[in-house]
Copies of this chain bind each other. A is one copy, B any other.
Amino acid sequence: MAEPIASTPALPSLDDVYRAAERLEGQAHRTPVFTSRTLDERCGARVFLKCENYQRTGAFKFRGALNAVSKLPSTEQRRGVLTFSSGNHAGAMALVGRLLGVPTTVIMPKNAPLAKVEATRGYGAEVILYDPEETTREALATQMREERGLTLIPPYDHADVVAGQGTAALELFEQAGPLDALLVPCGGGGLLSGCSIVAKGAVSPCRVVGVEPETADDATRSFRSGTLHRVHNPPTVADGLRTPSLGAITFPLIQAHVDEFQTVTEAEIIASMHFLWTRMKLVVEPSGAVAPAPLINGTASSRWGERVGVILSGGNVDLDSACSLLARV
């Protein structure tokens, strides 16, 4: 174990995840758990896939966004919230803003895909485009907070966001029963750290495995060395996992609760996606195919036991790009 970080902020607890689940009740989908005889035979375990591609806005991000915005005092809700994301957190925050009547501003790079900008605007959020050559999203966010008094809800390094993401694992345990291992994809670590809190609070022991693209293995290196590693715009097809590093909240949680990291190659991610689309009829995005990739490709680094849970994190794809990727298989 690494030394604790000097200025560790308050970390969310299992109780926070339970309270998040209460807030999500009736708003978030209780997403289905899928199984596959073919997959089970292939890896010699019973595998439970938690399908967050069927979550509202097409990814688990809705959970954390809803929990974090719901918890804000009404004075802050009235002034509005702010985030930066060019991916699934943007859409989730925009829908949450609409549902709760909270004005929502999303900072996106001007080269973000037009479809994502339009989807975010479609939910009623204000989108501020910035030129990454001229400024950073952090600088812009600071300026907007000061000018407009907005509350920042970042994509992963926030206790209430992490607690919200943990509800995915809470449901999976309720739906599947005891698990010997839980595989979770890792970008900034919001989903992984939230789910790890739940797995370590389970009645029977459950090994928590973070899965990361080999070409974006900053969390793996951080976990193994105990010091924070970074990547810059890593060349992975898993666009949701291109985050630069773990955060001040997610890193200590991962150090405390995660047992193991495994990396997967780009070819393994694409083969995993191909299996999920063609054999299981599940549209998942490349990042969503990362966690099951070791099982589908038969490259699991350990024997994880009889019952293995996996989070399929999302299903938002640009169909043309996905088809190009899948044509390589």
CA distance A301 to B25 in the complex (A): 37
A135 at the interface (CB under 8 A from B): no
Nearest CB to that of A32 among chain B residues? Answer: B32
Nearest CB to that of A288 among chain B residues? Answer: B281
Q: Check A320 against B327 for contact (C-beta < 8 Å).
A: yes
A284 at the interface (CB under 8 A from B): yes
Number of copies: 2
Q: Check A274 against B319 for contact (C-beta < 8 Å).
A: yes
Partner of A278, one of B274, B319, B327: B319
CA distance A26 to B176 in the complex (A): 18
Nearest CB to that of A326 among chain B residues? Answer: B319
Q: Check B283 against A284 for contact (C-beta < 8 Å).
A: no
Q: For chain A, give the interface size range.
A: 10 to 19
Q: Pick from A32, A58, A283, A284 the residue with the most CB of B within 10 Å.
A: A283
Q: Check B326 against A281 for contact (C-beta < 8 Å).
A: no
Q: Find residues 51-102 in chain A having any chain B CB closer than 8 Å to their own CB.
A: 53-54, 58
Q: Could you say which residues of chain B place their CB within 8 Å of the CB of A326? A: 319, 323
Q: Find residues 309-329 in chain A having any chain B CB closer than 8 Å to their own CB.
A: 315, 317, 319-320, 323, 326-327
20 A/B residue pairs, CB under 8 Å, sorted by A: A32-B32, A34-B54, A53-B281, A274-B319, A277-B283, A277-B319, A278-B283, A278-B317, A278-B319, A281-B283, A281-B284, A281-B315, A282-B283, A283-B283, A319-B323, A319-B326, A319-B327, A320-B327, A323-B323, A323-B326
Q: Could you say which residues of chain B place their CB within 8 Å of the CB of A34? A: 54
Nearest CB to that of A317 among chain B residues? Answer: B278
A52 → chain B closest CB, angstroms: 10
